[in-house]
Structure 1
Amino acid sequence: MKPIVQKLPRQDFKSFVSIMMSTPTFETPWHRHVENEILLIKEGFGTAIIGDYVGEFAKGDLFYIGSNVPHWFRKAYEDLFCRVVVIQFDQSIFGSTFLKMPELTATNKLIKLKQGLAVNYALQPTMVDKIEQLVDAEGFEHIGTLLDILHQISTQTQNTLLTHEPIDSFDSKGIIDEVLEYTFERFQDNIKLEEVAAIVKMSTSNFRRFFKLNTKKSYTKFLKEIRIAHACKLLRDPNRFVSQIFHECGYRNITNFNRQFKEVKSMTPSAYRKEIYRE
């Protein structure tokens, strides 16, 4: 069975993890850990699931994931190379009183946040440099730079809250990971709820309850979000027509695709493409 609690190796002379990871160690199962995590995507793109959020990740993205928030990252296709800077730290390294200092109010609030954020560092371009420096930093510079990064993230007002409803229940048998893998491999097909339930040896009604308890959404909604996330990646290619894309996302007609795309992204596929080119 795949591990569900990821514990990255920490060097003895460092109090927290700061490493560069690349394919294939970048790919992880649905998992969680007590450590808070900062992820800077250096290369690659694909699908990210963080708590009850389903969306894209791409080069330059910066994520903050709170303690025990389950997450899952998958590159867009098998041969794609991905590279990411990973910072994992347990809030206990700061002791019981340090974060209570009034100067660290915002930082303390961030560290205790049990949700996921997409960090907008446009107004703080040095943040990326500091995150990369942590990989090789030692001594005071290692812990001092982490505090600086956390302060910058905590005072950045343009961050996007990705998760909404905390997931208190967590599947300890790897069933959710099995469902995610199956869905990610077959979302282009006409997947039926009954067949997914059968794969994990549950009745349809039990599976429906189990999946919602562990993800805070129905399987039908989850499948829709996976398909739309894939559509968003395809829409970045100017040589693809919307009339071609919907077939590659598991939809049988363009009307249903347009409707479901708008439900998830609050805009039409064409409007989404225009928004991308405006960036």
Structure 2
Amino acid sequence: MKPIVQKLPRQEFKSFVSITLSTPLFETPWHRHVENEILLIKEGFGTAIIGDYVGEFAKGDLFYIGSNVPHWFRKANEELFCKVVVIQFDQEIFGSTFLKMPELSQILKFIKQNQGFSINYKNQDGLIPKVEQLVSAEGFEHMGILLQVLDTISTRTENQILTNEHINTFDAKGIIDEIMEYTFTHFKENIKVEEVANMAKMSTSNFRRFFKLNTKKSYSKFLKEIRIAHACKLLKDKNLFVSQIFHECGYRNITNFNRQFKEIKNVTPSAYRAEIYRE
């Protein structure tokens, strides 16, 4: 299975992509593209992998993903319906000088960071309607709204940088894609790195180096983050006890679960749940 370099079709008379995708077109594995991307989650929830970041996505989330930053939005289960507004634009549509104008300097600075962001828009009236309006906008309005959205994102929102490192290497044989798929399917089991290395037809030491080169993190940390991301989803259900949840996430004892959860989220599972319902 080869990693995907995604290329969405651009609509006629439009210089960038602005469409709504839903299941099954939403389900694109670990992939990248030269275009910068804005994603508004309309329906569904699951695990987001953006560069070296692993976390959650849910309805209402707004993400910005820089050029060639690999990513994968994996829905929580096969039966789930997902829907997303996708905006993809190549910086080249602005030419070599347009974004260098003083009035647009913040947009250029933001794009040049080339990272993955979670966009906090709670205090930004009108941002989400503008993102949604891009799907049907045409002509001058189409480009004008994109600039308004980028201006709002780059100058007036409290963005959370998700990625720590930009991943330049890309797995030509599709092994990373296969390993990620396997991990998502079996993370509740007692996965050992030696078994995964064998599946990749590598020695354990070579596999460790290979995985870290391609994802900027160890396989054990990746597995841990997948399990904790699943735990975060389960903690939103008030009817589940923490003593039930750790079993559903691949942990054999609650002490190890609590320790690793705090290591990833900086709070205990109970404190995380309390914070959810305090908001």
Specify the TM-score bucket, using the shorter chain as the normaliser: over 0.9
Give the 3 Å change call, closer, same or farther, for CA 108–125 of structure 1 in structure 2.
same
Alpha-carbon RMSD: 0.8
In structure 2, what residue type is equivalent to 1:166?
H
Partner of residue 186, structure 1: 186
Partner of residue 89, structure 1: 89
Give the 3 Å change call, closer, same or farther, for CA 168–3 of structure 1 in structure 2.
closer
Q: CA deviation at 1:118?
A: 0.2
- Structure-to-structure mapping, 1:107-118, within 5 angstroms: 107-118=107-118
In structure 2, what residue type is equivalent to 1:92?
E
Partner of residue 134, structure 1: 134
- Structure-to-structure mapping, 1:49-128, within 5 angstroms: 49-128=49-128
Check the 8 A contact 1:47/1:73 in 2, yes or no.
yes
Q: CA deviation at 1:156?
A: 2.7
In structure 2, what residue type is equivalent to 1:218?
S
Check the 8 A contact 1:4/1:172 in 2, yes or no.
no
Check the 8 A contact 2:115/2:161 in 1, yes or no.
yes
Deviation readout 1:98-121 (Å, 9 max, x if unpaired):
000001011011122211000000
Q: Does residue 151 of structure 2 align to residue 168 of structure 1?
A: no
Check the 8 A contact 1:43/1:81 in 2, yes or no.
yes
Comparing 148-157 and 56-65, the one that deviates more: 148-157
Partner of residue 10, structure 1: 10
TM norm structure 2: 0.98
Check the 8 A contact 2:119/2:157 in 1, yes or no.
no
Check the 8 A contact 2:242/2:269 in 1, yes or no.
yes
In structure 2, what residue type is equivalent to 1:221?
K
Deviation readout 1:108-147 (Å, 9 max, x if unpaired):
1112221100000011131100010011111001000000
Check the 8 A contact 2:2/2:172 in 1, yes or no.
no
Q: Does residue 231 of structure 2 align to residue 231 of structure 1?
A: yes
Check the 8 A contact 1:120/1:156 in 2, yes or no.
no
Check the 8 A contact 2:3/2:172 in 1, yes or no.
no
Check the 8 A contact 2:63/2:117 in 1, yes or no.
yes
In structure 1, what residue type is equivalent to 2:98?
F
Q: Does residue 165 of structure 2 align to residue 152 of structure 1?
A: no
Partner of residue 38, structure 2: 38
In structure 2, what residue type is equivalent to 1:123?
N
Check the 8 A contact 1:43/1:58 in 2, yes or no.
yes
Q: CA deviation at 1:225?
A: 0.4
Deviation readout 1:149-192 (Å, 9 max, x if unpaired):
00000013411000011212111221111110000000000001
Give the 3 Å change call, closer, same or farther, for CA 221–3 of structure 1 in structure 2.
closer
1:122 is paired with a residue whose SS is coil
Q: CA deviation at 1:12?
A: 2.4
Check the 8 A contact 1:116/1:161 in 2, yes or no.
yes
Deviation readout 1:17-74 (Å, 9 max, x if unpaired):
0000001110111111110000000000000000010000000000000001010110
1:42 is paired with a residue whose SS is strand
In structure 2, what residue type is equivalent to 1:192?
K
Give runs of ≥4 in structure 1 deviating > 3 Å: none
Q: Percent identity, aligned pairs only?
A: 78
- Whole-angstrom distance in 1 between the partners of 2:172 and 2:90: 21
- Whole-angstrom distance in 1 between the partners of 2:148 and 2:51: 26
TM norm structure 1: 0.98
The gaps in structure 2 that reach 5 residues or longer are none
Partner of residue 259, structure 1: 259
- Whole-angstrom distance in 2 between the partners of 1:266 and 1:252: 21
- Whole-angstrom distance in 1 between the partners of 2:138 and 2:107: 22
2:79 is paired with a residue whose SS is coil
- Whole-angstrom distance in 1 between the partners of 2:263 and 2:197: 25
- Number of equivalent positions: 279
In structure 1, what residue type is equivalent to 2:25?
T
Q: CA deviation at 1:3?
A: 4.8
